[in-house]
């Protein structure tokens, strides 16, 4: 086993019983293709599996920790947590690029810092850990790496307008409107008041330092009144 592979094992906090799985996860297709006569496997199949393992375990985390969030919002949260940018950021902080096996052309083309390659490698590593130690192993790595690299504000800041829209649209012919009902303060310190109506009836009031923030506050107020417990 390469020293680079052993060092990376230490970084992710999981010791593989079968290190060959991790070595496979760090093998880019460009490297495998240059050494086709050695029957090397690239990490592409692991990436395929890792995408599902990551999505499922993040979905489980969100389901258990945000019991009052609707399905649409949970889907958006998961998408943010498993997107290429998030995974590439994790890879950069782990300095994963230096541990990859890359072909000469990919090496010369800056592959060690390319976000798409790094994100795919993170998924491959998760798949390798799953094959080596099952869901507990993969879950442990995700908890240590993925969940800790997502800003808490991203998990707790809600798009109340979208949440309200999705909730009321569960019934047909529901119309939400937002109306500016007040504005105060000097130009450099404005304050806005907004009301939100459902089919013409006021269901929420909000205020904020911008119209958008006031609308979000009004939507939050409406959620609290119409669907108690769903504005958390």
Active site residues: 51, 123
Please give the Cα distance from 21 to 43 (Å, whole number).
Answer: 9
CB of 24 within 8 A of CB of 43? yes
DSSP, collapsed to helix, strand or coil, labels residue 26 as coil
Residues 6+ apart with CB under 8 A from 25: 43, 46, 121, 124, 125, 127, 128
Q: Which residues of 168-190 are buried (b: 16+ CB within 10 A; e: fewer)?
A: beeeeeeebebeeeeeeeeeeee
Please give the Cα distance from 178 to 218 (Å, whole number).
Answer: 8
Nearest of 65, 210, 88 to residue 146 by alpha carbon? 88
Neighbours of 44 (CB within 10 A): 13
Please give the Cα distance from 161 to 221 (Å, whole number).
Answer: 10
């Amino acid at each position: 086993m390469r020293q680079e592979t052993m060092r990376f094992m230490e970084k992710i906090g999981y010791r593989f019983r079968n290190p060959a799985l991790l070595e496979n996860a760090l093998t880019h297709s460009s490297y495998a293709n240059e050494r086709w006569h050695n029957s090397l496997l690239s990490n592409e199949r692991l990436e395929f599996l890792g995408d599902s393992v990551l999505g499922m375990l993040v979905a489980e985390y969100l389901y258990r920790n945000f019991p009052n969030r609707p399905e649409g919002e949970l889907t958006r949260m998961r998408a943010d947590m498993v997107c290429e940018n998030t995974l590439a950021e994790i890879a950069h902080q782990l300095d994963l690029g230096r541990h990859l096996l890359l072909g000469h052309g990919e090496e010369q083309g800056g592959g060690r810092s390319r976000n798409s390659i790094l994100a795919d490698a993170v998924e491959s590593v998760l798949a390798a850990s799953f094959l080596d130690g099952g869901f507990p192993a993969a879950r442990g790595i995700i908890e240590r790496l993925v969940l800790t690299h997502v800003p808490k504000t991203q998990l707790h800041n809600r798009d109340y307008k979208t949440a309200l829209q999705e909730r009321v649209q569960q019934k047909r012919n529901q119309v939400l409107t937002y109306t500016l009902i007040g504005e105060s303060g000097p130009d450099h310190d404005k304050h806005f008041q907004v009301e939100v109506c459902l089919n013409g009836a006021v269901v929420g009031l909000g205020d904020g330092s911008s119209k958008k923030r006031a609308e979000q506050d009004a939507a939050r107020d409406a959620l609290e009144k119409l669907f108690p417990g769903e504005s958390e």
